[in-house]
């Protein structure tokens, strides 16, 4: 019996292979190749240029941790921007917070949004909420023009290659700093400490040149390189290691206030990656 496998080359020396039931969708947008495949192990998988972005089985870990750590570190998050994240999973989680009055999804590729609505409805469902405003535009340009508009900015982009490189620059982080209110918080993906330690150092160093409070935290996302994934969080005022609300009025599958605190307890080898940055 013929078996169909998808293989992602995660590094020059590491690959992830998933057995595929069927290819559901393929499209070449002006920005990238978009594929949705149905796999035996991780359900439906969104691929951009052959790289796993999200799956219906493990997506909740990433989307909860990129959203709730920042939102539960802010006293009253009302206005939120999500840069990238066209699948809608981060928007879905942000909208669980009753204080949020508006969340803008700023996605450069509208084809990703449409594909996610069609084939990943359990992830993209928040995009239909009246508080969610989808803007198909360049996140770098948007943040350069915004001034003190947001309580929280979440950078839910692809890896720092191609068009996304600018989303990991100090210039962009300065724009986000200006786009945030006086007590604003920024969170961005920061790659795997196993495979991209230098990328983590670059992001941390760039953020420390702009924000007074910068931290790194971890979670487990099985389909990302080696499973251990990191986020960088930068704050003007609040200590992001201390969740403000200890009881959640909504359901989660990974995030809890206790997990929130524990995520900032870094193993020594990760501490070594960021040691001495900005000194």
Domain extents in the chain: 4-55, 59-274
Query: Tell me, which fold does domain 4-55 have in CATH?
Result: Spermidine Synthase; Chain: A, domain 2 (2.30.140)
Counting beta carbons within 10 angstroms of the beta carbon of residue 254, is it exposed (0 to 12), middle (13 to 18) or buried (19 or more)?
middle
Say whether domain 59-274 belongs to CATH 3.40.50.970: no
- This prediction has a pTM of 0.96
How high is the pLDDT of residue 216? Answer: 98
4-55 and 59-274 agree in CATH topology: no
- The pLDDT tens digits along the chain (279 residues) read 678 999 999 999 999 999 999 999 999 999 999 999 999 999 999 999 999 999 999 999 999 999 999 999 999 999 999 999 999 999 999 999 999 999 999 999 999 999 999 999 999 999 999 999 999 999 999 999 999 999 999 999 877 766 678 898 999 999 999 999 999 999 999 999 999 999 999 999 999 999 999 999 999 999 999 999 999 999 999 999 999 999 999 999 999 999 999 999 999 999 999 998 865
Say what the pLDDT of residue 279 is: 52
Q: Is 156 a catalytic residue?
A: yes
Q: For position 166, what pLDDT does the model report?
A: 84
Orientation of helix 170-179 relative to helix 197-208, angle to 10°: 50
Question: How far lies 154's CA from each of 104, 120, 197, in Å?
Answer: 10, 21, 21
Give the pLDDT score at 1.
62
Q: What are the Cα distances from residue 62, in Å, to 79, 93, 123, 278?
A: 21, 10, 12, 27
Confidence at residue 165, expressed as pLDDT on a 0 to 100 scale? 84
Which letter does DSSP use for residue 259 in this model?
Answer: H
Q: What is the largest CA-CA distance in the chain?
A: 61
Q: Which of the following is catalytic: 49, 156, 159, 239?
A: 156
């Amino acid at each position: 019996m013929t078996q169909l496998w998808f293989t992602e080359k995660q590094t020059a020396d590491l690959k992830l292979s998933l057995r595929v039931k069927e290819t559901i969708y393929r499209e070449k947008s002006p920005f990238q190749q978009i594929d949705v495949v149905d796999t035996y192990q991780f359900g439906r998988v969104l691929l951009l240029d052959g790289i796993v972005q999200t799956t219906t089985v493990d997506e909740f870990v990433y989307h909860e941790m990129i959203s709730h750590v920042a939102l539960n570190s802010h006293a009253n998050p009302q206005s939120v921007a999500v840069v990238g994240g066209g699948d809608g999973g981060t928007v879905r989680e942000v909208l669980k917070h009753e204080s949020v009055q508006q969340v803008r999804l700023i996605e450069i590729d509208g084809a990703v949004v449409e594909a996610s609505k069609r084939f990943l409805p359990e992830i993209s469902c928040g995009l239909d909420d009246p508080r969610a405003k989808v803007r198909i535009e360049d996140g770098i340009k948007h943040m350069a023009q915004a001034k003190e508009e947001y309580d929280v900015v979440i950078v839910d982009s692809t890896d720092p290659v191609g068009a996304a490189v600018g989303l990991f620059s100090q210039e962009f982080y300065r724009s986000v700093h200006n786009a945030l209110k006086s007590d604003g918080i920024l969170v961005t993906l920061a790659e795997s400490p196993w495979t991209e330690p230098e990328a983590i150092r670059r992001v941390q160093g760039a953020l420390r040149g702009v924000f007074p409070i910068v931290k790194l935290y971890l979670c487990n996302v099985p389909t990302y390189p080696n499973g251990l994934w990191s986020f960088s969080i930068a704050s003007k005022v609040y200590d992001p290691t201390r969740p403000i609300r200890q009881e959640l009025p909504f359901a989660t599958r990974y995030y809890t206030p206790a997990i929130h605190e524990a995520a900032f307890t870094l193993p020594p080898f990760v501490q070594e990656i960021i040691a001495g940055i900005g000194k």
